[in-house]
Amino acid sequence: MCLFQSVMNYFPEEVLEHVFDFLTSHRDRNAVSLVCKSWYSVERFSREKVFIGNCYAVDPERLIARFPRVRSLTLKGKPHFADFNLVPHDWGGYVYPWIEAMAKNGINLEELRLKRMVVSDESLELLAKSFPNFKSLVLVSCDGFSTDGLAAIASNCRFLRELDLQENEVDDRKGQWLSCFPDTCTSLVSLNFACLKGEASVAALERLVARCRNLRSLRLNHAVPLDTLQKILVQAPQLNDLGTGTFVHDPDSDAYCKLKNAIKKCKSIRSLSGFLDVNTRCLPAVYPICTNLTSLNLSYAPGIYSSELIKLICHCKKLERLWILDTIGDKGLDVVASTCKELQELRVFPSDLYGVGNAAVTEEGLVAVSAGCPKLNSLLYFCQQMTNAALITVAKNCPNFIRFRLCTLDPTIPDAVTNQPLDEGFGAIVQSCKGLKRLSVSGLLTDQVFLYIGMYAEQLEMLSIAFAGDSDKGMLYVLNGCKKLKKLEIRDSPFGNVALLADVGKYETMRSLWMSSCEVTFGACKTLAEKMPRLNVEIINEGEQIEASPDDRHRVEKMYLYRTLVGPRRDAPDFVWTL
């Protein structure tokens, strides 16, 4: 040991740094920094990419102090259930303090990736003006900004390579933000503005595409018409990833004919999405590129009927990732199973959110895909019904699942054939898929399923529970069994104080715990907060009178707790109490 240490000390720091360069995963880097003081020191000065899974676990000052050379920052803000309207709008997750601190401290920021954060136009302006080498902005499921902020980015980031907006709520001021890219901007590699609702300046877009010869990924919003698409494709046949705008035209027209020819020349397209507005008789134009597609996202195209979907998919033999609506039906999934042998990720979203109509998939579609696509490792499946037998079959067919998220449209529906809970089915999944990292369960479920999860899901990092379980035992099985659990989110389940308080130390090994509409009481949360000073235990009270001292026996509607190095946050709104 001593010999080893002295040998290691011989290595000049540059060598260590060089070795560490090969470590790309932040987990590896975190591990390396724990070895000894000198490694910690070398590592921290050489780390360029920092990932912060909960923006309130640390603060900007600490980030800058430890990693002064950071160039790329990934931040996540609101809890996951915020995506489903369970978290009030102004709960928090503001990016401004981070940008401000980094600007003040001369950080050479090049890349910023944010998820579920509140991003104001001021933040974007400050970002654009403070970091001359800024290259890449990726915003996923964020809100708080408008196209004015985008204009600031476009105008000021001279070396911008990537502007990727995914599913954000953007206030579209119908300004000309696309025209704000100066004529000297030729560096764009990736541009995704599919989530914008308003008109885009078509002329500016065409010019931009024409001068950015390195453009590889382009996703348009629905306001971009088909003939613009055609012109763009003529300018950029080198595209790898295309998201169409509106795909509606008269299939007998010249414009459509030109489009067909333009598409044929785009031999590098591997990823296709869009089709928000679609005339299905125009779809055949994309058949020529289907043969090489590895990724296809038609989940925003409810206008494509099952038969058309099937025709399209028949061409896609190399597909590895498929996002689709349940309009495809079980029949369509059969076709997927027999055509897409390379499929790794499947997401089937519900098309019918109001309970009208019959479009849906059942367990049959899933079984078919599992049988036909042995490489399947990631699933998000919204279905009308499910059975234990089907899940057991799926588990046997596909033992490689890393992510398995099943969502029955009726949250407590039992096995469609036997009327039993779906415990056995999910039990089979966790037992068979030894590498499972993420699991969402639904349907009628008792404590038994959590026993299975605790026993078998050894690699599980994230678990989502809704309307499941019978008693505290369920939650206890999970907390005791899943050693690698990082995020646990529970809603509308009968887990209470006993489960919450059984092992308070566990929460410091996790990133966060969310419990809403469960049985935990105010008193238990207070107890927990007292015992664990390095946790923030937040109670979210919306619409209720804030009592001076609520009864300890009062049930808590929403609780979010997370480990943190920096104590209670100072930007919490009135309705959030940190105990």
> In the range 225-284, which residues lie near other proteins by CB under 8 A?
276-278, 280-281
Q: Which amino acid is at 540?
A: I
Q: Is 212 or 324 the residue whose CB approaches other proteins more closely?
A: 324
> Of these, 260, 305, 318, 402, which contacts other proteins (CB under 8 A)?
305
- Contact assessment for residue 438 and residue 460, using Cβ atoms and an 8 Å cutoff: yes
Per-residue binder mask for other proteins (CB under 8 A), 500-529, x = binder? -----------------x-x----------
Strand partners, 491: 466, 516
Beta-carbon contacts of residue 229 (< 8 Å; ≥ 6 apart): 220, 244, 245, 247, 259
CB of 307 to other proteins, least distance (A): 4
> Of these, 152, 212, 451, 513, which contacts other proteins (CB under 8 A)?
451
Residues 87-116 that bind other proteins (CB under 8 A): none
CB of 418 to other proteins, least distance (A): 5
- Contact assessment for residue 239 and residue 233, using Cβ atoms and an 8 Å cutoff: yes
Q: Which stretch binds other proteins (CB under 8 A): 4-12, 177-185, 464-472, 526-534?
A: 464-472
Q: Which stretch binds other proteins (CB under 8 A): 20-28, 69-77, 145-153, 465-473?
A: 465-473
Does residue 492 interact with other proteins by CB under 8 A? yes
Q: Is 47 or 78 the residue whose CB approaches other proteins more closely?
A: 78
Q: Is 60 or 329 the residue whose CB approaches other proteins more closely?
A: 329
Q: Is 187 or 327 the residue whose CB approaches other proteins more closely?
A: 327
**Can you point out the beta strands (E) in 467-557?**
487-491, 512-516, 535-540
Q: Is 97 or 411 the residue whose CB approaches other proteins more closely?
A: 411
How far apart, in Å, are the Cα atoms of 68 and each of 14, 45, 60, 111? 17, 7, 11, 15
Q: How far is 485 from 437, CA to CA, in rounded Å? A: 9
Residues 124-183 that bind other proteins (CB under 8 A): 141, 167-169
Q: Is 6 or 85 the residue whose CB approaches other proteins more closely?
A: 85
CB of 501 to other proteins, least distance (A): 12
Q: Is 345 or 472 the residue whose CB approaches other proteins more closely?
A: 472
Residues 37-96 that bind other proteins (CB under 8 A): 81, 83-86
Q: Is 278 or 559 the residue whose CB approaches other proteins more closely?
A: 278
> In what helix (H) or strand (E) does residue 428 lie, and over which residues does it extend?
helix 423-432
Q: What is the largest CA-CA distance in the chain?
A: 79
Q: How far is 250 from 234, CA to CA, in rounded Å? A: 20
- Contact assessment for residue 138 and residue 164, using Cβ atoms and an 8 Å cutoff: yes
Residues 9-28 that bind other proteins (CB under 8 A): none
Q: Which stretch binds other proteins (CB under 8 A): 11-19, 172-180, 199-207, 386-394?
A: 386-394
Which of 146, 188, 138 is CA-nearest to residue 165? 138
**107: left (phi > 0), else alpha (psi -120 to 50), else beta?**
beta
Q: Which stretch binds other proteins (CB under 8 A): 64-72, 104-112, 210-218, 445-453?
A: 445-453
CB of 240 to other proteins, least distance (A): 24
Residues 518-577 that bind other proteins (CB under 8 A): 519
Q: How far is 514 from 537, CA to CA, in rounded Å? A: 10
CB of 379 to other proteins, least distance (A): 15
- Contact assessment for residue 292 and residue 270, using Cβ atoms and an 8 Å cutoff: yes
Q: What is the DSSP string of 176-245?
A: -GGGGS-TT-----EEE-TT--S---HHHHHHHHHH-TT--EEE--TTS-HHHHHHHHHH-TT-SEEE-S
Residues 321-350 that bind other proteins (CB under 8 A): 327, 349-350
> Of these, 199, 471, 523, 566, which contacts other proteins (CB under 8 A)?
471
> Of these, 188, 195, 208, 328, which contacts other proteins (CB under 8 A)?
195
CB of 333 to other proteins, least distance (A): 16
Q: How far is 62 from 382, CA to CA, in rounded Å? A: 41
> Of these, 60, 77, 365, 496, which contacts other proteins (CB under 8 A)?
496
> Of these, 388, 397, 536, 578, which contacts other proteins (CB under 8 A)?
388
Residues 349-368 that bind other proteins (CB under 8 A): 349-359
> Of these, 38, 446, 459, 541, which contacts other proteins (CB under 8 A)?
446
Which long-range CB contacts under 8 A does 198-201 form with residues at least 24 apart? 198/147, 198/172, 198/173, 198/174, 198/223, 199/174, 199/223, 200/224, 201/176
Residues near other proteins (CB under 8 A), total: 84
CB of 241 to other proteins, least distance (A): 19
Which of 171, 229, 221 is CA-nearest to residue 192? 221
Which of 516, 457, 462, 508 is CA-nearest to residue 486? 462
Residues 399-428 that bind other proteins (CB under 8 A): 407, 409-421, 423-425, 427-428
> Of these, 452, 514, 560, 562, which contacts other proteins (CB under 8 A)?
452
Q: Which stretch binds other proteins (CB under 8 A): 60-68, 179-187, 229-237, 493-501?
A: 493-501
Which of 487, 533, 534, 537 is CA-nearest to residue 510? 487
Q: How far is 306 from 381, CA to CA, in rounded Å? A: 17
